[in-house]
Amino acid sequence: MLVTLDLTARQAARVLAQAVRTRAKLEIEPRPESYAALLWGNLAGREGDLLVVDLHYSARVLPLGQLIGAMCDVRTILSGQLCLFSTVIVDASDAGVPRRLLLASPETVQLANRRRFARHTPTDPVPVRLSITGRTDPFLLGLANIGPTGMACRAPRTGLDDALFIGDVVQLEFALPWSGEIHKLPASVCGKTPCPDQEQMVVGLEFAAADHDPAASALEHLRAALNDEAARLIDLDGDS
């Protein structure tokens, strides 16, 4: 369970001021899940009640104009602490370099355990084999993002949409690009969201290993790999 602490309005204002001053690196997760991409950027400044975010060039997403008005969850590390807040994307621009978002300044900021931070969008394609009990051939999905409690994958709707139902328990097999190690885990289907083109969908999967399940150790191993990679990315960002 992720334990968080709500900051007072004064504390939240100080945290945001520090983030602007240090050009904090932000991880931005637009909602709904159908966008299936995390955005990374640096907090470049403030314009009144708006936060200005310069996106990293590697961020891959639909045209930014489609994100205007979308809610998003934002995560960043400040002084070794994970800070969380939710806000709305007020404006977005694809025209300049770097691409830019304007976020409404949040009224509430939370602090949480840094080791729960690891959540990644792969820069290279990562195939995920999804096996359903009673079906011989697995489905091949593409990893959209992954975190300690689950992952989101993209897949063609044809065939999979009719074979997969919310609440189904499936078996996943995949390899993280930075380690190459193969992970095999059970998961439950927690969401199916059609993509705007209606030909693909995003499948939300929650890891289903319980504390005393034989797969629990495999899940802890995966979480350790995610945390190690998160720490490495944060350290690299601090050196730049």
The per-residue pLDDT for 130 is 96
Cβ(201)–Cβ(194) under 8 Å?
Answer: yes
CATH topology assigned to domain 4-116: Pnp Oxidase; Chain A (2.30.110)
The per-residue pLDDT for 237 is 42
State pLDDT tens for residues 14-31.
Answer: 889 989 999 998 988 887
State pLDDT tens for residues 34-72.
Answer: 455 678 889 999 999 999 999 876 445 567 788 888 888
Q: What is the DSSP letter of 106?
A: P
| Alpha helices in the chain, H assignment, sequence order | 9-21, 160-163, 216-239
- What residue spans in the chain does CATH classification 2.40.10.220 cover? 127-239
Question: Distance between CA 151 and CA 22 in Å, rounded?
Answer: 30
Counting Cβ atoms within 10 Å, is residue 185 exposed (0-12), middle (13-18) or buried (19+)? buried
The per-residue pLDDT for 101 is 92
CATH topology assigned to domain 127-239: Thrombin, subunit H (2.40.10)
**CA-angle at 181, arms to 178 and 185, nearest 5°:** 115
The per-residue pLDDT for 195 is 80
Counting Cβ atoms within 10 Å, is residue 120 exposed (0-12), middle (13-18) or buried (19+)? buried
The per-residue pLDDT for 53 is 94
The per-residue pLDDT for 59 is 46
Token pair recorded at residue 54: 């310069």
The per-residue pLDDT for 1 is 40
Question: Distance between CA 234 and CA 49 in Å, rounded?
Answer: 27
Question: Distance between CA 208 and CA 213 in Å, rounded?
Answer: 9
- Contacts with 214 (C-beta within 8 Å, 6 or more apart), sequence order: none
- What residue spans in the chain does CATH classification 2.30.110.10 cover? 4-116
Q: pLDDT under 50 in the chain at which residues?
A: 1-2, 34, 58-59, 114-118, 233-240
Among the listed residues 144, 157, 151, 45, the one whose alpha carbon sits nearest the alpha carbon of residue 100: 45
The per-residue pLDDT for 196 is 76
The per-residue pLDDT for 234 is 43
